[in-house]
Structure 1
Amino acid sequence: MSLDIISFVEPQPSDIASPCVNVCTMDKTSGWCLGCARTIREISNWSAKPPEERRMILTALPARKAALAARQG
């Protein structure tokens, strides 16, 4: 008899901190969080994402934040 084992994604090293600023409101037009400018997909499982993926996301955030600010201002 074999047992199915649920596998969980191991957290990646935490040397790349989450950019979350606890303003968790999604912009309906862009799909970006108004606080950190990430998408829901980018936010989910942040600690399990490989460092390269987290760096790519972080690189995109300044331009997104600028776009959000330009639309709000």
Structure 2
Amino acid sequence: MNVNAVSDVFRRVLENPEVSADSDFFVMGGDSLLATRVLSAIARTSGVELDFDDFLDAPTPSALVKKIASQA
């Protein structure tokens, strides 16, 4: 999964077209419930299941891509 695909998931879940590769999910208005939607979309698309702690450690699309790659 690439950074553009993860950014698109963030945009869709947050309903915010301004998300970039370095946008922090929580700063952009995300919460734990919305984070589960992001994690589910990533699991469906990439086959990699991350947990909420992974998301807290990597709350930007670019950081999440690195987490996905390390667990794929």
Q: Structure 2 length as normaliser, TM-score?
A: 0.31
- Structure number, greater radius of gyration: 1
More helix by share: 2
TM-score when normalising by structure 1 = 0.31
